[in-house]
């Protein structure tokens, strides 16, 4: 399930329609608070606006990381700020797209976000740990637990 969180209804609904046209299940939320009341485990990828009323997308990313969640995040923003761009990418975001973004660019980001990561010497590589900047590895035995 792709979850879309954006306080701009037209962006939220058009992004949901695009994601569904690409063959993915999608749901949308008008705020971070609304998203947090949902079942977070249902989300396999998050398309998240950077700046919203209330809790921002950046704050949600920090919260999810703090909870140990590794949900891939694709950020979208109306105003690209290099400091925020660097911050979210260093924390593990898949990408940050400037609005309006192309259908192809979002589709490419979704493929990157959802593809399985390669196996390495009996260990599955996970997304980079934002605190260490290095991929974490877990053994096949740990994956079965």
Task: Write the pLDDT tens digit of every residue in 24-67.
Answer: 999 999 999 999 999 999 999 999 999 999 999 999 999 999 99
Percent of the chain with pLDDT over 70: 80
From the centroid of its chain, how far is CA 144? 25
My answer on whether 67 and 135 are in the same domain is no
- Range 99-109 average pLDDT: 95
pLDDT at 144 over 70: no
My answer on whether 89 and 28 are in the same domain is yes
Confidence of residue 118 (pLDDT cuts 50, 70, 90): low
My answer on whether 20 and 82 are in the same domain is yes
Residue 127's H or E segment, with its range, is strand 123-128
Helix (H, G, I), strand (E, B), or coil: what is residue 31? coil
My answer on whether 122 and 109 are in the same domain is no
What separation, in Å, do the N-terminal and C-terminal C-alpha atoms of the chain show? 23
Residues 6+ positions from 118 with CB-CB distance below 8 Å: 125
φ, ψ of residue 55 to 5 degrees: the values are: -75, 130
My answer on whether 145 and 130 are in the same domain is yes
Kindly report, residue by residue over 55-103, the tens digit of the pLDDT: 999 999 999 999 999 999 999 999 989 999 999 999 999 999 999 999 9
Give the number of domains in the chain.
2
Q: Which domain holds residue 136?
A: 118-145
Please give the C-alpha separations between residue 71 and each of 43, 48, 139, in angstroms, as whole numbers: 7, 11, 20
Distance CA 30, CA 22 (A): 22
Strand order in the sheet with 26-29: 26-29, 2-5, 45-49, 73-77, 95-98
My answer on whether 48 and 98 are in the same domain is yes
For residue 128, what are the β-bridge partners?
135
Angle at 32 between CA 104 and CA 61, to 5 degrees: 70
Helix (H, G, I), strand (E, B), or coil: what is residue 11? helix
My answer on whether 90 and 122 are in the same domain is no
The confidence score (pLDDT) of residue 128 equals 40
Confidence of residue 115 (pLDDT cuts 50, 70, 90): confident
* CATH code, 50: 3.40.50.2300
Predicted structure pTM score: 0.80
């Amino acid at each position: 399930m792709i979850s879309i969180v954006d306080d701009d209804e037209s962006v939220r609904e058009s992004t949901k329609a695009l994601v569904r046209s690409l063959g993915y299940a999608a749901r949308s939320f008008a705020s971070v608070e609304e998203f947090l009341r949902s079942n977070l485990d249902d989300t396999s990828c998050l398309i998240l606006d950077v700046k919203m009323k209330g809790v921002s997308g950046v704050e949600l990313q920090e919260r999810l990381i703090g909870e140990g969640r590794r949900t891939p995040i694709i950020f979208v923003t109306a105003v690209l700020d290099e400091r925020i761009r660097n911050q979210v990418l260093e924390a593990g975001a898949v990408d940050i797209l400037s609005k309006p973004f192309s259908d192809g660019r979002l589709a490419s980001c979704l493929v990157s976000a959802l593809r399985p990561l390669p196996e390495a010497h009996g260990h599955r590589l996970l997304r980079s740990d934002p605190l260490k900047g290095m991929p974490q590895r877990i053994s096949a035995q740990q994956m079965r637990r």
